[in-house]
Amino acid sequence: MTLLELSKSLHNCQRCKLAKLGRTQVVFGVGNPHASVMFVGESPGFNEDQQGEPFVGAAGKLLNDLLQSAGLSRSDIYIANVIKCRPPNNRDPEPDEVETCKPFLMQQIAMIRPKLVCTLGNWVTQTLLERKVGITKVRGQAFYLKDFVLFPLLHPAAALHQGSMLEPLKEDFKKLREFLDRNTKPAEPTTAASPAAPTLQIDPPQPAQMDLFS
């Protein structure tokens, strides 16, 4: 199955109760299907539900600015949510909804094969790490999982609701840029008309690196 086929298979998904609780459409995800860097949010909000795209509206505009500060753009990355349909009143997703929808996110990750997955906010970070851990303790750090490196960030919406979070959020993206700079290899020489792009190549951590969860 391709990413497009998976998207089409979820077009009118009725697998959980969110289909009957006022969602306008399934918000599958957008971006570069071969992205080295993927961003994952929690679930669609009002604007996302209306437009069918993750991170639009005020939070999306802020995210675009933050991406630029990290040397990234929307065309470089892929953006998706764990939950593909808007929960009523933007409530947290419930366990049965996560159980139903998370496998589709994992399929997206398996198809795109990003080297780095940036989780936006506490809930998503806990969902992908499969551990109860506060975002303030893990933000801006790299966690080496089996198939990708996970990099937790504060959620842009948190900074919109609470102005004091804006500077810490900018710090997270500064750390992201530093991580990308350390792990991006120069492009190989090419004779093609268009030069090859630099590639993200993340080396495994040194054995002595302390594991936060050990």
Which residues, in sequence order, are bridge partners of residue 199? 185
Residue closest to 42 by CA, chosen among 170, 155, 166: 155
H-type helices in the chain, by residue range?
3-9, 46-51, 57-69, 95-112, 122-129, 135-138, 156-161, 166-183
Asked if residue 94 has pLDDT above 60, the reply is: yes
Annotated domain spans of the chain: 3-183
Identify which has the larger pLDDT, 170 or 213: 170
Asked if residue 194 has pLDDT above 70, the reply is: no
- pLDDT reported for residue 208: 44
Q: pLDDT digits over 99-126, tens only?
A: 999 999 999 999 999 999 999 999 999 9
CATH dotted code for 3-183: 3.40.470.10
Average pLDDT over residues 43-64: 96
Asked if residue 50 has pLDDT above 80, the reply is: yes
How high is the mean pLDDT of the chain? 91
